[in-house]
Amino acid sequence: MTDFTQLSFGLAEVCRRAGQFIRQEAASFDRGRVEMKGVHDLVSYVDQEAERLLVEGLRELLPTSGFITEEGTTGGSSQATSAGTDYTWIIDPLDGTTNFVHGLPCYCVSVALLHHGELVAGVVYEVTRDETFRAVRGGGAFCNEQPIRVSDAPKLTNALIATGFPYTHFAQLDDYLRILGSFMQRTHGVRRVGSAAADLAWVAAGRFEGFFEFNLNSYDVAAGILLVREAGGRVTEFLQDGDPLFGRQVVASNSHVHEEMQQTIREFWQEERGAASQA
């Protein structure tokens, strides 16, 4: 039987090695070597090489594992696992590429492990702060090996909320802006860091009370979902309590403010239009 706690230490080391490469490249990065997947969707050789390093290291940890990758290093996809394996790694080699390209903090390496469809281990390594967030199912959540917990703020009026801006599928932009405006009025404020992995890790660490975003992929959120849950928080879809891993919309919180967050979203979010935009 796999010891997921022990495996998570190896995972953390693999992520830190990829992060070290990213940090080295940041010092002399040439913006001219950026590829455009879309106007707001950038990819660089750094993403691609970091993913290759991750896949190589993770194959050593679990030789028979499959992969869900952002940059397609293994030929995998963002929504389907490799066939014939009990273990699947979900990899985002550089979450926050736009920040990286423009020389801004923060950006992360994010990797999680699925076992029979359940998240069992996850690491988010925030490169610019040299912080390793690690979680194991049933084993708690840690930052640089110190235990972390979500905040105990009881209400939205006590909360700082994180979000991300949509960069594709703008059909629901008006809905999103209304939700954003409502949170701005009901909380201590709203922050947009530019990395969903960091947003979720910081909810787990009690720095944010909540986070919401839509049009996300599994590799954006997998490790962060486990971190929040193991730190005592709650993670769902916008309007329902379903598993958000492949649902493309996430609400994460310290649990106390979760119902208020969902109710705020419910006031403005048109679910039918959202489903159509994600098809």
Query: Are 85 and 65 a contacting pair, CB within 8 Å?
Result: yes
DSSP, residue by residue, 199-223: HHHHHHTTS-SEEEEES--HHHHHH
47 marked ligand binding residue = no
95 marked ligand binding residue = yes
Query: Are 122 and 145 a contacting pair, CB within 8 Å?
Result: no
Nearest to 148 by CA among 229, 258, 257, 213: 229
104 marked ligand binding residue = no
241 marked ligand binding residue = no
What gap in Å lies between CA 143 and CA 43, rounded to an integer?
28
220 marked ligand binding residue = yes
How many whole angstroms from its chain centre is CA 217? 9
| Token pair listed for 267 | 């006031």
Using the structure block, give the residue that is written with the tokens 């960091």.
198
**DSSP code at position 82:** P
Beta-carbon contacts of 267 under 8 Å, excluding residues fewer than 6 positions away, are: 178, 179, 182
Detail the residues annotated as belonging to a binding site.
70, 92, 94-95, 220
Detail the residues annotated as belonging to a binding site for Mg(2+).
70, 92, 94-95, 220
